[in-house]
Structure 1
Amino acid sequence: MLLLRPTVDRARLHHARAALAHSVSATAWRDALEMRRPDPTVAVALRVGLATTIALVGGGLLGYTHVAGFAALGALSSAFLRYEPYPSRAVRLPWVGAGITAYTALGAALGALGAPMELQILVISLGAGLAFWLFTAFRLVGPGPVILVFAAAGASGFAADWADVRLVTTAAALGAVAGWVVAMAPALYNPYSPARIAVARALAAVSSLETQGAQAVPAARQSIVRAREVVGACARRDDDHIRELLALLDAAETVVDEGSHETVAERCDDFLRFEAELRKARRDIDIPHVDARGTRVPSAVRGSVGEGFERLTEQAVLAGTGRIVLASLFAAQLAVLCGLGHPLWASMGAMAALQGLNYRNTVQRAHQRMMGNVGGAVVAAVLLALDLGYWPLVVAAVVFQTMAELFVLRNYGLTSVCVTAMALLLTGLGGDAGTELAVDRVGDTLIGVAVGVIVAAVTIRRDDRHHLVA
């Protein structure tokens, strides 16, 4: 009689072991300290800070200091779709605000119903998967769907009855409206801003060919394609400035096509100068005239809604959704077993880590989030222990949120320091939160990122080998 033995994919098992080994390697920790080239986003950071200020100051002046933090979460919708052309942003950004509001209502309902923690963990974990699925498929780029989970987790701990549910839901909705208004306001005086930034990013990508060589070509081509889409969405009939932007892209594409180091070196200084001018917020900029004869203004950007529905069934999106749900469940349950007071924060840690583009990026984000949460928790603990009162904490929260937006493309660890401090301050506004809140945040995050890395290693794709590069 033959004994049937389960087959073991030894190659995959070896790949997963190598992935886990990378997570504790010196290379992984060096990655966490990497400082990337800054992409100037001061205007965006100031807008997000302004939206947060409006929410917190409005809540304070109206006497709703205890729910102003939820309004600030709604206002964080202004941090999404930062490079989207205004016509598209006007339509897509409300869905982000609606998502934050809906998850706030969901969490508050769980709290008002007195749902046991096990049920809350299950519902929030499924909600985390749903948020990741939709945000990834429809490419709602920004801080990520983890904002929705944070809103739900905070509301579940706040709401004691249905009056609280209405209150926090209304606060989040009003904050989302403020976020939309602030994000769209520049369209009134600088409607070309998204197109100009897209072209500037494309020119910067082409300029990087001088130092990075052929390996930067795919990214440069992708930046040019994206810039053409954004310019197309901003086009206005026979607009000379749009044609000049397209002529710059034509010149950039010519440089990439020729692939000559001499050509890149010759145009690099010009491209960098053009890039600096394009990033200026003023309208009286000095964009050199470029011969744009024969340049065709493209049609608007492709229908993102239809493409989003198509991506809903992509294997990578579905697999990522499943990983988010499993990791969120495991992390929160482990936090409960460890006796931590905010286990849903562990779900957030796992979710944030698993939003990496590949396994190496996942580990990098996990390490950065872990170090950032420790640093941010220490800062928040000091501020909360000082018992400064509402208005000083509002100032601190706005500063941290603005700094987070400034650091977001430089180093996720520095961003995490600011986001953690800001999140803890928002949680403590109008409440009796003490330093134990910061301790819980650190413990939950450590559990969350550890579970996220393990799940990522076990489910790693066969073609994901970025972490194996010497």
Structure 2
Amino acid sequence: MRARPPRALPVRSTVRLRRPVDIWHKPALSAVVALAIPDLTLLALGRLDLILYTSAGAMCALYAHGLPYAARARTLPWVVLGMVASLAVALTAASLTTSTALLVVLASLVAAVHKMVCDATRIGPPGNLILTFIAASAFFVPQRPGQVPLHVALALGTGAIAWLVCMAPALVRPQGPERIAAARALEAAAGLLRSAPETGGAEPAGTAQARHATAAAVNAAWHAVFLVPVRAPGRAAARARLERLLVRAESALGDRDPVGAQPTGRAAEADRLSGWARELRGGRPLPEVPLSPAQAEELAGITAETTAAARTTAAGARGTVTKSHAPDDDGSGPLVLRHPAPGLPRGLRAVAARLAPGSPLLPIGARVAAGCVLAGWASMAIGVGHPYWAVVTAASIYQANTTLSWQRALQRTLGNLLGLLLFTALLPLIHTGHLAMIALALAFQLGAEAWITRNYWLGSVCVTPVALLLTGFGGHLPARTLVTDRWIDTVVGAAVGLACCVLVTNRRAADRIDIALERLAAAEAAAHRRLAAREPAGRDDTPEAGWTRDRLAGCLIELREAVDVAAGEWWQRPLPQERIALAEQQGHRVLAVLVRRLSTPVAAA
């Protein structure tokens, strides 16, 4: 089949500003505090040459802010260990060889690993960028073998500080992350209700997009809520109220009348959902949410689902759960469900499954490795003294497809240029002393997190001075040399990286759509069987019904993500647009039926 020709690359939308993410201040303030503690300590000790190593651990404070605190406490140590391991590899290599060409290759391979692992774990922002920036820089820091243990220990210690800083808000708002997730779901559901017609007829063009956004937000919110432990009675009561809110939000996916009382009450229901979202964000007591009989039945089914999941998970810990416990599992791979069925891979096994041979992440890793190596070598050939900047630039532009990578390359180049101009303008202040440098670095870090959610190029305006300041703490290169090298490396890294992105095509992007369509068809068939099998009395199939619904929602989200990735990839075979549209329409209809008809087991009725 003939491949699709390249699409026109967007420019205007690439630099357009968006609304900032609602919780941008949380990682921003956490990073500033986690960086300020070791920075000021090193200033007092007169050892600012160690700031790169302490920054490695402190920068981990940027991660996992979307997770409830119990899950965050488990996730952040893995981020810190990944950062420390990468730093150890880089420093060890730097202490054993002085070959710049070899160090570029090693830094590029580490960057590829960062990209694939971060995508496989779905760790979220800032993804692989911070890990690659620190590790690539460390590859080119002069090092002796005897210094490596101390420097790694400094990173591990500041990583512990970052963990404490990220966990500290739990003392004030212990339910903050799950409340934010629920508020996002309520807001998305309100948007869906406002976009859909009051009565029958064709849906407006934006409704399908709003439906997908609502399904994703509700799915993410359920996943966050199910990560909250309920050992204490107070926590159980709070989680139960959040579940009632999510049931009300989820009803927007399935009910023409979400309230069950007024035939034209969609606008009023949207206003109620928005009001509850504001209460959640404002920290006010969780509202008492009335449910219709069908919604109350669904909540009872969810309670049975979570109870069964906890029971079978505990049994699995004793070695009694097998693959057969996963209802309707076709063995085609793990899905990210809001509450995974027993027997599906979890943790490290799930990450390994996403990186198995045939994974769509492998071509992305090959792109990163090839692009970073060639960018670093090109920088060396030009005579730039900091080839790791070219490596980091190339690694940073690789996104899910060619179109997104082009956008990131343009954003990175524009942001770095403006950041270099800003750094140059502030040189008189920077030269006043180390305290001014630390203050500026912290201010730029805050600004980077505030602006990067509006657009990557705007955040890069602040990221560039931070990188230059970190370099200034460890060396004494003239400012003109730093600025010139940074600009050359940015252009080289972006150009070479983008060229490799175009040449190393991801032919598996379209194949992923076929797999997603097959999974969706299987999930729909399982849903139809579940709906048809609800009549026999005494059969407690509520947990399986819940997992069937979750699997169908996950398949719809997975299909939309696969289509978005393949649509921006070059030299792909034509996408089956009609088949995709029909599959999504049918899938959403079946999901709506499941949402409406999911109820308690017949025996308990």
Q: TM-score, normalised by structure 1?
A: 0.88
Matched, 1:39 2:21: yes
Greater CA drift, 309-318 or 320-329: 309-318
Cα deviation digits, residues 164-220 of structure 1 (max 9, x gap): 433432322222111111112222332211211111221232233335422221121
Q: Is the 8 A contact 2:506 2:569 kept in 1?
A: no
Closer/same/farther in 2, CA of residues 35 and 117 from structure 1, 3 Å limit: same
Instruction: Choose 1 or 2 for highest CA Rg.
Output: 2
Tell me the equivalent position of 1:165.
Answer: 148
Which residue identity is paired with 1:253?
E
Cα deviation for residue 254 of structure 1 reads: 0.9
Tell me the equivalent position of 1:322.
Answer: 366
Cα deviation digits, residues 21-64 of structure 1 (max 9, x gap): x34xxxx2212212223221123321222112123122222332
Tell me the equivalent position of 2:469.
Answer: 425
Superposed, which structure 2 residues align to 1:306-321 within 5 Å?
306-313=349-356, 315-321=359-365
Matched, 1:248 2:248: no
Match of 2:11, SS state, is: helix
Which residue identity is paired with 2:497?
G
Q: Distance in 1 between matches of 2:20 and 2:255?
A: 27
Which residue identity is paired with 1:342?
H
Q: Distance in 2 between matches of 1:365 and 1:384?
A: 28
Match of 2:47, SS state, is: coil
Q: Distance in 2 between matches of 1:220 and 1:416?
A: 30
Q: Distance in 2 between matches of 1:426 and 1:273?
A: 45
Greater CA drift, 377-386 or 83-92: 377-386
Cα deviation for residue 259 of structure 1 reads: 5.8
Match of 1:190, SS state, is: coil
Matched, 1:181 2:164: yes
Q: Distance in 2 between matches of 1:350 and 1:435?
A: 23
Tell me the equivalent position of 2:279.
Answer: 277
Closer/same/farther in 2, CA of residues 359 and 216 from structure 1, 3 Å limit: farther
Greater CA drift, 118-127 or 429-438: 429-438
Tell me the equivalent position of 1:403.
Answer: 447
Cα deviation for residue 93 of structure 1 reads: 1.2
Q: Distance in 1 between matches of 2:35 and 2:165?
A: 10
Q: Distance in 1 between matches of 2:390 and 2:409?
A: 12
Aligned residues: CA RMSD: 2.5
Q: TM-score, normalised by structure 2?
A: 0.69
Closer/same/farther in 2, CA of residues 167 and 290 from structure 1, 3 Å limit: same
Matched, 1:288 2:287: yes
Instruction: Give the gaps of 5 or more residues in structure 2.
Output: 196-205, 259-263, 311-338, 341-345, 511-565, 576-605
Cα deviation for residue 263 of structure 1 reads: 5.1
Tell me the equivalent position of 2:52.
Answer: 69
Greater CA drift, 456-465 or 115-124: 456-465
Instruction: Give the gaps of 5 or more residues in structure 1.
Output: 1-8
Cα deviation for residue 75 of structure 1 reads: 0.8
Q: Distance in 2 between matches of 1:430 and 1:347?
A: 20
Moved over 6 A (4+): none
Which residue identity is paired with 2:567?
R
Q: Among all aligned residue pairs of Structure 1 and Structure 2, give the percentage whose two residues are the same amino acid.
A: 30
Cα deviation for residue 365 of structure 1 reads: 1.4
Q: Is the 8 A contact 1:244 1:291 kept in 2?
A: no
Correspondence for 1:373 among 388, 391, 416: 416
Tell me the equivalent position of 2:220.
Answer: 226
Which residue identity is paired with 1:375?
L
Closer/same/farther in 2, CA of residues 166 and 438 from structure 1, 3 Å limit: farther
Tell me the equivalent position of 2:548.
Answer: none
Correspondence for 1:204 among 176, 187, 212: 187
Which residue identity is paired with 2:225?
V
Which residue identity is paired with 2:359?
Q
Matched, 1:343 2:400: no
Tell me the equivalent position of 1:257.
Answer: 254
Q: Is the 8 A contact 2:411 2:456 kept in 1?
A: yes
Superposed, which structure 2 residues align to 1:5-24 within 5 Å?
11-12=2-3, 15=5, 18-19=6-7, 22-23=8-9
Q: Distance in 1 between matches of 2:256 and 2:471?
A: 53
Tell me the equivalent position of 2:496.
Answer: 451
Closer/same/farther in 2, CA of residues 267 and 358 from structure 1, 3 Å limit: farther
Superposed, which structure 2 residues align to 1:46-57 within 5 Å?
46-57=29-40
Q: Distance in 1 between matches of 2:390 and 2:19?
A: 31
Q: Is the 8 A contact 2:397 2:408 kept in 1?
A: yes
Which residue identity is paired with 1:398?
L
Tell me the equivalent position of 1:416.
Answer: 460
Cα deviation for residue 351 of structure 1 reads: 1.1
Match of 2:139, SS state, is: helix
Would you say how many aligned residue pairs link Structure 1 and Structure 2?
A: 447
Match of 2:393, SS state, is: helix
Cα deviation for residue 404 of structure 1 reads: 1.6
Which residue identity is paired with 1:248?
L
Greater CA drift, 295-304 or 31-40: 295-304
Q: Distance in 1 between matches of 2:184 and 2:347?
A: 21
Tell me the equivalent position of 1:6.
Answer: none
Which residue identity is paired with 1:218?
H
Cα deviation for residue 312 of structure 1 reads: 1.6
Tell me the equivalent position of 2:270.
Answer: 268
Q: Is the 8 A contact 2:31 2:62 kept in 1?
A: yes
Matched, 1:437 2:482: yes
Cα deviation for residue 381 of structure 1 reads: 3.1
